[in-house]
Structure 1
Amino acid sequence: MSEHLSKQRQFTGWHMIAVMALFFGTIISVNAVMAWNASRSWSGLVVANSYVASQQFNGKVAETRAFEASGITGRLTAEPGAVRYVVTLNGEPAKHIDRVVATFKRPVEEHEDLRIDLDRQGAGAFLAAEKLKPGQWIADLTAISGDAVVHRQAVRFIAPGEGK
């Protein structure tokens, strides 16, 4: 009878293989899910000093809320060979905007970044006749009236290729 009980409760090498497979399988599965989520949700934002960026966060949020409350809005349109930015104040062209400065950046890389003064095309309309490479870009746009910054906006967009 004792021989029969000992056979039932033996821990064999197959049991050990199953335990190890379940253990490492769980760890690998969780890591794969976390890596997939991280790669799908990362914005590409990189800062030189995260501590300084965190200290400036509340000020940037307050500035953004003030810009939103001003009634000024901007709309960016990407065309092959040009980028158009239209600034409106409560739905009407913003005639008081003197100039718009744009910084075009790739979401991840820095070597293609460029800063451009957009050309005024009329009341509230500005054009950058810059030929951007096709693909994703982030435009940091600053609208200036006199010496004061009156609107700031960041827009992520896709620059079309020549044939599109």
Structure 2
Amino acid sequence: MRNQGAVHRTFTGHHMLIAMASFFAVVIGVNAVMATFASRRWSGLVVEDTYVASQEFNSKAAAMRAMAATGISGNLSLSRDGIHYDVKNRDGSPATVQDVTLTFRRPVGDREDFQLALTKKSEGRFEVEHHVRSGDWIVEIISRNKDVTVMHEAVRIDMADFGL
């Protein structure tokens, strides 16, 4: 016996249209949200002008090789509220340096980037009191004697490694 109250439904073109429109609305919505998050988190900018950067590459690489040949090395250390940087000659003696500048950059994004000038405590020893937030940082260190760059290096650090 058939139930007289049962309604027989069929899948029509209108149902297919609603299903397709819903599917593409979800895909487009997710893409829009992800694109918004990506554009707010990272500028995507590595260099201002890639052509100029490519033209300067060889001269910068030669300068870095010459700097490495001098044997001068640096050691960056961080504590809870202090940053220390030691600059030494090849033989371990303190290097003659007048000023050291640190530039802290996040690997992704530039909203939290900052620069610090360290204070000279003794020959080859520089310090500054500053709290660095936890997370990954790329620290660019430039040591100068007068207007000559003595040491230029970049170090990637994870502040979680320091228990901070």
- What is the alpha-carbon distance in structure 1 between the residues aligned to residue 110 and residue 116 of structure 2? 15
Change in Cα spacing, 1:163 to 1:96, as seen in structure 2 (3 Å) is closer
Note the alpha carbon deviations across 1:111-162, whole angstroms, 9 max, x for none: 1111111111222111131111101111111111122111111111122489
Contact 2:137 2:157 in 1 (8 A): yes
Higher mean C-alpha deviation, range 48-57 or range 137-146:
48-57
- What is the SS of the residue equivalent to 2:64? helix
- What is the SS of the residue equivalent to 1:54? helix
> Which is richer in strand?
1
- What is the alpha-carbon distance in structure 1 between the residues aligned to residue 117 and residue 81 of structure 2? 16
Structure 2 counterpart of 1:137: 137
- Unpaired segments ≥5 residues, structure 2: 1-43
- What is the alpha-carbon distance in structure 2 between the residues aligned to residue 143 and residue 93 of structure 1? 16
* Equivalent position amino acid for 2:121 in 1: Q
> Shift in Å at residue 93 of structure 1?
3.5
Change in Cα spacing, 1:133 to 1:57, as seen in structure 2 (3 Å) is same
**Number of corresponding residues:** 121
- What is the alpha-carbon distance in structure 1 between the residues aligned to residue 49 and residue 141 of structure 2? 23
Contact 2:135 2:158 in 1 (8 A): yes
- 2:148 is the counterpart of 1:125: no
Change in Cα spacing, 1:163 to 1:140, as seen in structure 2 (3 Å) is closer
- What is the SS of the residue equivalent to 1:90? coil
- What is the alpha-carbon distance in structure 1 between the residues aligned to residue 71 and residue 53 of structure 2? 27
Structure 1 counterpart of 2:152: 152
Please report the TM-score for the alignment, with normalisation by the length of structure 1: 0.66
Structure 2 counterpart of 1:76: 76
Contact 2:135 2:160 in 1 (8 A): yes
Question: What value does the CA root-mean-square deviation take over the aligned residues?
Answer: 2.1
> Shift in Å at residue 80 of structure 1?
1.8
> Shift in Å at residue 98 of structure 1?
1.0
Structure 1 counterpart of 2:103: 103
Change in Cα spacing, 1:162 to 1:102, as seen in structure 2 (3 Å) is closer
Contact 1:80 1:159 in 2 (8 A): no
Matched ranges for 1:19-98 at <5 A: 46-98=46-98
- Unpaired segments ≥5 residues, structure 1: 1-43
Please report the TM-score for the alignment, with normalisation by the length of structure 2: 0.66
- What is the alpha-carbon distance in structure 2 between the residues aligned to residue 45 and residue 124 of structure 1? 34
